[in-house]
Amino acid sequence: MSETKQALWELEYRLEHHPDIFMKINYAQLIELSKKIKLGASKKEDDSDLTPSDIKTTLDAFKGCLELAVIVKESEIATILLEQSKNITKVLEGYSIPEIDAQILTKDEIKELVEFAESTDLMEMLLDINKDSLNEKKLESYLKISIDEPGTTPDENKLTPDERNRRQTVLTIMNKAISGGLLSCGNIGLGALSGILSTIPTLTNPTFPLIPGLITSTYTGINGILSALKDLNNLP
């Protein structure tokens, strides 16, 4: 048995003890967060017409990603993500990502998140994440945005080159989290079908087991959110 198949077998065996892993999620709350995150994803960080209001929308979407991470932390999903992280990264290797994810993100975006998740496991951060994990004052400084009065923020052409670069850095990091948030929301949402379906097509496997596929993809998305939070908190 290959190392990947062994990891998949161990992951499936562990999941048998959590048959309702996706059933205790508040899906109404998930839908609202998904809408917020999607709105932020529609604002690209390299868009020359990005307004202060758009930047606030991106920030709100990022904060929505952190709310999503807290939901996952407080669910049974976190138990699997933490206990099975080594097996998940072995199973990942591209083929376990549900095919439908390519309707959520581009294949290049998925590939980037998967490659990062394969090499870097940040799940331990999930244990400590809460509403205070984000230093909003630091972000205000980098984004040149007032959380309470975004309309008064100077637009792009009123920033110095250094201020523009600092803003760009933060927007790029937040957009990585937003991609992760979209991936996680999509797969947790698909978990509602876990009592109906047993397999799901993945990018390279037409009959991959449903729950492991959703778990590996959720892991990939949450790992991206945690990476972005770590990068933002490490800004000087």
Instruction: Pull the structure tokens for residue 57.
Output: 């929308």
Domain boundaries, the chain: 3-234
User: Cβ-count burial of 183 within 10 angstroms (0-12 exposed, 13-18 middle, 19+ buried)?
Assistant: buried
Angle at 104 between CA 143 and CA 41, to 5 degrees: 15
Q: What is the DSSP letter of 202?
A: B
What phi and psi values does residue 134 have, to the nearest 5 degrees?
Answer: -100, 130
* Alpha-carbon dihedral angle through residues 27, 66, 185, 176, given to the nearest 10 degrees: 170
Q: What is the DSSP letter of 23?
A: T
> What is the C-alpha to C-alpha distance for residues 193 and 26, in angstroms, rounded to an integer?
14
Whether 184 contacts 222, CB under 8 Å: yes
Q: For residue 199, list its beta bridge partners.
A: 209
pLDDT score at 153: 52
This prediction's pTM: 0.90
Average pLDDT of adjacent 10-residue blocks, the chain of 236 residues? 87 86 89 94 68 86 95 94 95 83 91 92 93 83 71 60 87 94 94 81 87 94 96 91
Strands, E, within the chain: which ranges? 199-200, 208-209
Instruction: Pull the structure tokens for residue 112.
Output: 């980037």
What phi and psi values does residue 148 have, to the nearest 5 degrees?
Answer: -85, -30
Element (H, E) at 227: helix 210-233
